[in-house]
């Protein structure tokens, strides 16, 4: 540039300010006002960087101890279970649970390895309930949400209110037990762990809101091709 008859060179030099980079300009000829403005900008950037660094230190000083305390609260119950497994049953009944076993005993592990079939059966029941129960729950809740969001279903608002009303008021534990034992005859069966928890109103409302955003042209094109409602749900809606 030519200013006042002289040549003004502007050379960028990267200087590190904390985690950011600032570019400082040096003016070797011409007006000094440009140099003052640029140096003032660099100074203000350094001030902001120092203030931000102080906030970061304050956040770390408060946040890290709180996170460590929360992690400790989560680890203690797990450590308590391990310590109790190496403590004798008589000591636990007499003195309660302790974080460090005072009467060391391996009787619990001896009982497990003496009859491993029961443990394997228990894990098998857990796996069956988890896999089958989750699959049935997803299928039933998704199918119910799909029906309730369809605009061609005349009674969708009434049934939606019916499902929502059950979240506000429930029959209680005793009627629920009578229904499962005397009406559904689920006592002493594995289905008592699956059927009562298949339907979840919260999941139905969640799925209904999501499926409401699926374009209706998808189902219309499938109906034109001759697909039924159940096939549309299984082949198109459920994968989405």
pLDDT, tens only, 11-51 = 444 443 333 333 444 444 444 444 555 455 555 565 555 55
Supply the pLDDT for residue 126: 93
Q: For residue 132, name the pLDDT band (cuts at 50, 70, 90).
A: very high
State the pLDDT confidence band at 124, using cuts at 50, 70 and 90.
very high
Q: Under DSSP, is residue 3 helix (H, G, I), strand (E, B) or coil?
A: strand
The residues, ordered by sequence, that sit 6+ positions from 7 with a Cβ below 8 Å of its Cβ are 1, 29, 30
* Whether 126 contacts 132, CB under 8 Å: no
| Structure confidence by residue, pLDDT tens digits, 65-74 | 899 999 988 8
pLDDT of 57-66, one tens digit each?
Answer: 777 788 888 9
Quick one: which of 166, 176, 156, 149 has its CA closest to 202?
Answer: 166
What single-letter DSSP state applies at residue 104?
Answer: B
pLDDT at 7 over 50: no
Percent of the chain exceeding pLDDT 70 equals: 77
- Please give the span between the terminal C-alpha atoms of the chain, in angstroms, as a whole number: 62
Beta bridge partners of 24: 13
Question: Which backbone phi and psi does 194 adopt, to 5 degrees?
Answer: -115, -55
C-alpha to C-alpha distance for 195 and 156, rounded to whole angstroms: 24
- pLDDT score for 151: 82
Please count the helices (runs of H) and the strands (runs of E) in the chain.
Answer: 9, 4
- Provide the pLDDT for residue 140: 92
| Token couple for 212 | 């409401």
pTM of the model: 0.59
What are the DSSP E strand ranges found in 18-60? 20-27
Are 12 and 25 in contact, with CB atoms under 8 Å apart? yes
Pick the more confident residue, 218 or 32. Answer: 218
pLDDT tens digits, 82-105: 888 888 888 888 888 888 888 888
Is residue 81 pLDDT above 50, yes or no? yes
Is 80 exceeded by the pLDDT of residue 232?
Answer: yes
Tell me what the pLDDT averaged over the chain comes to: 77
pLDDT at 155 over 70: yes
Query: Whose structure tokens read 């302790």?
Result: 98
* Separation between Cα atoms, residue 66 and residue 57, nearest integer Å: 14
Tokens of 97: 């649970």
Give 176-187 pLDDT, tens digit per residue. Answer: 888 888 888 888
| Rounded (5°) CA angle 9-12-18 | 150
Give the position of tokens 């003052």: 36
């Amino acid at each position: 540039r030519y200013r006042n008859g002289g040549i003004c060179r502007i050379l960028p030099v990267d200087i590190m300010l904390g985690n950011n980079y600032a570019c400082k300009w040096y003016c070797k000829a011409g007006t000094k006002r440009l140099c003052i403005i640029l140096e003032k900008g660099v100074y203000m950037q350094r001030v902001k960087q120092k203030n931000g660094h102080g906030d970061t230190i304050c956040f770390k000083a408060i946040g890290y101890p709180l996170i460590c305390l929360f992690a400790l609260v989560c680890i203690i119950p797990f450590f308590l279970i391990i310590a109790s497994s190496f403590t004798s049953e008589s000591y636990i009944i007499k003195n309660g649970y302790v974080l460090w076993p005072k009467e060391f005993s391996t009787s619990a592990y001896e009982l497990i390895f003496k009859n491993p079939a029961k443990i394997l059966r228990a894990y098998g029941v857990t796996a069956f309930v988890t896999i089958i129960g989750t699959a049935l729950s997803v299928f039933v809740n998704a199918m119910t949400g799909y029906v309730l969001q369809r605009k061609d279903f005349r009674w969708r608002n009434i049934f939606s209110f019916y499902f929502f009303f059950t979240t506000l008021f429930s029959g209680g534990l005793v009627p629920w037990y009578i229904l499962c034992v005397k009406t559904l005859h689920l006592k002493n069966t594995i289905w008592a762990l699956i059927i009562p928890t298949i339907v979840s109103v919260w999941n139905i409302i969640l799925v209904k809101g999501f499926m409401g955003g699926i374009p209706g042209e998808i189902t219309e094109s499938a109906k034109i091709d001759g697909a039924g409602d159940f096939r549309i749900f299984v082949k198109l809606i459920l994968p989405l």
